[in-house]
Amino acid sequence: MTAARLAGAAILMCASLFLSLRLTAAKRKRERELYEICDLIRYVRNNIDSFLTPLGSIFSKFSSPALDSCGFVEALENGGLSSAAVSEGISLLSNERRLLLAFSEKLGLGYRDEEIRLCDYYYKEFSEIARREREENDKKSKMYKYLPPLAALSLIIIFI
Amino acid sequence: MNDIDMQKEALSLLPRRLASAVMRGASLRQGVFNEIRMRIGMPLCITGRGVNIPCGVVCSKEDVDYTLRALCGNSLYSHSETIREGYIAAPGGIRAGVCGRAVVERGEIVSVTDITSICIRIPRRIPGAADELYKMLKASSFRSGILIYSRPGIGKTTALRELTALLAGGEAPLRVALVDTRCELAGGLGGCLTVDVLSGYPRSQGIEIALRTLSPEYIICDEIASREDAFAIASARASGVPIAASAHADSLDELLSSEFMNVRGVANAFDVFVCLKSRDDCGRYETDVAYGVDLSSVCAQ
C-alpha cells in the first residue's frame, strides 16, 4: 500500500514538473516566435529598401529557428505571408493573426516608400506585442516554474 | 518556352473568367493571339495575326488590379522604375504595357498610380522569320551592322529574336551580346549557348558593358530612340563590333529624320537598313532593303 502511495506521489510530482516545463517552454516559444516575426518584417523592409527584391525571393531566402520549426517558414515559401499567418504551428493569438493578415494584404501593393512605412508600422506593432509578452513572461516565469509542483505537493500532502 | 507555354503563362496572369474569355476569343483565330488588352470598364480584347478581337467580357478594376499584382509577382515596388516608363517585364519574356495617372514633379514622371489599362504582349518564336536578314549578314561575313525599322506591331522584336537565335546557333555560332533593356527580346532564347543577355540594362550602358567585358562578335539591341543610344552604337562600331538594332519608323525618310540618326558615327554603324512592311501568317516579312545609305546630309555633329 505504501509503495503504491509513493508511486502515486512520484507520478504526480513528475507530471507537475513536466507541466511546469511545458508551460515555461510554450511561453518562451511564443515570445521567440513574436521576436522572429519582428525579424521577418525588418528583413522584408531592408530587402525592399536596399534591393527592391520581389516578395517571393525575400520569403524564399528567409530563415529563422523558431519560425522554421513551427512550419511558418515553409508556409511562407509556399503560399506567402497570408498562408503563413494562418498556419497552425505558430502560437499567435487571433488578434495577432489578424494583424499579420492585414500586413500581408497590404504588402506589395505600393511603391518603395509606402512599403517601408508599412513595414515600419507593423514592425512597431509586433515589437510592442513581443515586448509585452517578454515582460509578462519575466514576471510570471517563477509562477510557471513553481506553481504546478507546489500544487502537486499540496495534493500529495492532502490525499496521501 | 514554346508559344503554347508562353500563352499559358500569359493566361495565368489573368483572373479565371477573363482567361476563359481569351480562350473563347482565340478559338476564332485558330488559338493564335499575341496581345491581350484590358481597360477598366471596357471589353477585354485580344490581337491575333493583326486582327483585334473583343472577347465579350468587361474588365473591372479588380480584374486589372489582379493582373497587375500577378505581373509584378505581388511586388509592385520592384517594378516601379519600369512602370514609370510604361511597362512591366514579367517572367518568360512577357511584357505588359501599363498606363494610368502619372505623378509629375518638375516635368518628370515620378510614379504612376491608378493603373487603368494593361496590354500584355506575348513574345513568339517564328523560326525562319529572320532567314533573309541572316543571309544578308552572312554575305558580309557578319561584319555588317543592320537596322530594322517599321511601324509598331509588325514584328521588329520577333525578327531580332530570330536573328539572335540564328547568329548564336548553327555550326559556327557567334558570341552575341543581347542588350535586352525591356526584358522581352530574350524570351524563348533559352537554347542559345553563346548569347549573353544583359537584361534590364539601359541600352547605352548595356552596349558599353558588353563591349568592355563580354568580347562580343555581334551586339543586338531593340528600339533605339535616343542620342545616348546612338552614341553607344557609334562607339561600338568604332570598336569593330557590328550591331543589329531596331527603331520605330514607317519609311527611310522618317528614320533618317529622327533625332538619334543625327549623331556622328551612326552613319557608319549600319550598312543595311531593312524596313519591315508587313508579315504573312507564316512569319515571312515583306521588306524594303537599303544598303549603305548616305547619312552625311543628316549628320549634324
Mapped to the 3 state alphabet, what secondary structure does chain B carry? CCHHHHHHHHHCCCCHHHHHHHHHHHHCCCCCCCEEEEEECCEEEEEECCEEEEEEEEECHHHHHHHHHHHCCCCHHHHHHHHHCCEEECHHHCEEEEEEEEEEECCEEEEEEEEEEEEEECCCCCCCCCHHHHHHHHHCCCCCCEEEEECCCCCHHHHHHHHHHHHCCCCCCCCEEEEECCCCCCCCCCCCCCEEEEECCCHHHHHHHHHHHCCCCEEEECCCCCHHHHHHHHHHHHCCCCEEEEEECCCHHHHHCCHHHHCCCHHHHCCEEEEEEEECCCCCEEEEEEECCCCCCCCCC
Instruction: Decide: A108 and B69 in contact? Cβ < 8 Å.
Output: yes
Tell if the CB–CB gap between B77 and A80 is shorter than 8 Å: no
User: Which residues touch A38 (CB under 8 Å, ≥6 apart)?
Assistant: A123, A126, A127, A130
Asked if B79 and B186 sit in the same domain, the reply is: no
pLDDT of residue B300: 42
pLDDT of residue A103: 96
A85-93 long-range contacts (CB < 8 A, ≥24 apart) are A90/A33, A91/A26, A91/A29, A91/A30, A91/A33, A92/A33, A92/A34
In terms of CA atoms, which chain A residue is nearest residue B71? A54
The residue-averaged pLDDT of B70-91 equals 91
Q: Any idea which of A130-134, B89-93, B273-277 has the lowest mean pLDDT?
A: B89-93
Q: Is the dihedral of CA B163, B169, B173, B175 positive or negative?
A: positive
pLDDT tier for residue B255 given thresholds of 50, 70 and 90: confident
A111: chain B residues, CB-CB within 8 Å = 76-77, 80, 111
In terms of CA atoms, which chain A residue is nearest residue B74? A108
Q: Does B112 touch chain A (CB under 8 A)?
A: no
In a domain, B158, yes or no: yes
Tell if the CB–CB gap between B80 and A111 is shorter than 8 Å: yes
Q: Any idea which of A40-49, A139-148, B237-246 has the lowest mean pLDDT?
A: A139-148
A56: chain B residues, CB-CB within 8 Å = 73-75
Chain A closest CA to B270's CA: distance in Å? 38
Residue-range definition of the domain harbouring residue B271: 131-291
The residue-averaged pLDDT of B102-111 equals 90
Q: Does B109 touch chain A (CB under 8 A)?
A: no
Considering only CB atoms, B111 lies closest to which of A53, A108, A111, namely A111
The residue-averaged pLDDT of A132-144 equals 85
Asked if B170 and B282 sit in the same domain, the reply is: yes
pLDDT tens-place string over residues B118-145: 999 988 778 888 888 888 888 888 888 9
Count of domains for chain B: 2
B64: chain A residues, CB-CB within 8 Å = none
pLDDT tens-place string over residues A72-121: 999 999 989 999 999 888 889 999 999 999 999 999 999 999 999 999 99
pLDDT of residue A36: 95
Tell if the CB–CB gap between A112 and B77 is shorter than 8 Å: yes
DSSP A108: T
The residue-averaged pLDDT of A140-152 equals 78
pLDDT of residue B208: 93
ipTM of the complex: 0.78
Count of domains for chain A: 1
Residue-range definition of the domain harbouring residue A26: 2-159
Interface test with A, best of B68, B74, B103, B112 (most A CBs within 10 A): B74
Maximal CA-CA distance, chain B: 56
Left, alpha or beta for B142 (phi > 0: left; psi -120 to 50: alpha)? left
Q: Does B80 touch chain A (CB under 8 A)?
A: yes
A107: chain B residues, CB-CB within 8 Å = 74
CA distance A136 to A148: 18
Q: How far apart are the first and last CA of chain A?
A: 11
pLDDT tier for residue B292 given thresholds of 50, 70 and 90: low
Q: At CB < 8 Å, which residues of chain A contact B? A: 48, 52-56, 80, 107-112, 114-115
With a cut of 90, say whether residue A140 has pLDDT above it: no
Considering only CB atoms, B73 lies closest to which of A54, A107, A109, namely A54
Nearest to B202 by CA among B82, B109, B111, B97: B82
Asked if B103 and B139 sit in the same domain, the reply is: no
In a domain, B176, yes or no: yes
Asked if B220 and B181 sit in the same domain, the reply is: yes
In a domain, B162, yes or no: yes
* Coil vs helix vs strand at A131: helix
pLDDT tier for residue B281 given thresholds of 50, 70 and 90: low
pLDDT of residue B139: 87
The residue-averaged pLDDT of A7-34 equals 84
Chain B closest CA to A129's CA: distance in Å? 27
A53: chain B residues, CB-CB within 8 Å = 75, 78
Q: Does B62 touch chain A (CB under 8 A)?
A: no
CA distance B236 to B221: 12
The residue-averaged pLDDT of B110-114 equals 90
CA distance B198 to B203: 9
In a domain, B299, yes or no: no
pLDDT tier for residue B98 given thresholds of 50, 70 and 90: very high
Count the Cβ atoms, other than its own, within 10 Å of residue B130: 26
Q: Any idea which of A85-94, B78-87, B143-152, B189-198 has the lowest mean pLDDT?
A: B189-198
In a domain, B296, yes or no: no
pLDDT tens-place string over residues B213-245: 999 999 999 888 888 998 999 999 889 999 999
Q: Is the dihedral of CA B279, B280, B282, B285 positive or negative?
A: negative
Domain boundary among B73, B98, B121: B121
Average pLDDT, chain A: 89
Average pLDDT, chain B: 86
Percent of chain B with pLDDT over 90: 39
User: CA separation (Å) from B101 to B98, B121, B203?
Assistant: 10, 21, 26
CA distance B119 to B90: 12
Sheet holding B87-89, edge to edge: B51-58, B43-48, B35-39, B108-121, B95-105, B87-89
In a domain, B283, yes or no: yes
Domain boundary among B62, B88, B121: B121
Q: Does B301 touch chain A (CB under 8 A)?
A: no
Asked if B79 and B175 sit in the same domain, the reply is: no
Asked if B282 and B149 sit in the same domain, the reply is: yes
Asked if B171 and B273 sit in the same domain, the reply is: yes
Q: Give the CATH number of the domain where residue B280 resides.
A: 3.40.50.300
pLDDT tier for residue B301 given thresholds of 50, 70 and 90: very low
Asked if B146 and B242 sit in the same domain, the reply is: yes
pLDDT tier for residue B299 given thresholds of 50, 70 and 90: very low
Asked if B79 and B192 sit in the same domain, the reply is: no
Domain boundary among B121, B140, B174: B121
The residue-averaged pLDDT of B65-80 equals 93
A109: chain B residues, CB-CB within 8 Å = 69, 76
A52: chain B residues, CB-CB within 8 Å = 75, 77-78, 80
Q: Does B88 touch chain A (CB under 8 A)?
A: no
Tell if the CB–CB gap between B76 and A111 is shorter than 8 Å: yes
In terms of CA atoms, which chain A residue is nearest residue B65? A109
Angle at B191 between CA B240 and CA B97, to 5 degrees: 80
In a domain, B166, yes or no: yes
CA distance B151 to B254: 11
Q: Give the CATH number of the domain where residue B79 resides.
A: 3.30.450.90
CA distance A131 to A45: 20
Q: Does B103 touch chain A (CB under 8 A)?
A: no
Asked if B37 and B179 sit in the same domain, the reply is: no
Asked if B239 and B141 sit in the same domain, the reply is: yes
B78: chain A residues, CB-CB within 8 Å = 52-54
pLDDT of residue B298: 46
pLDDT of residue B1: 63
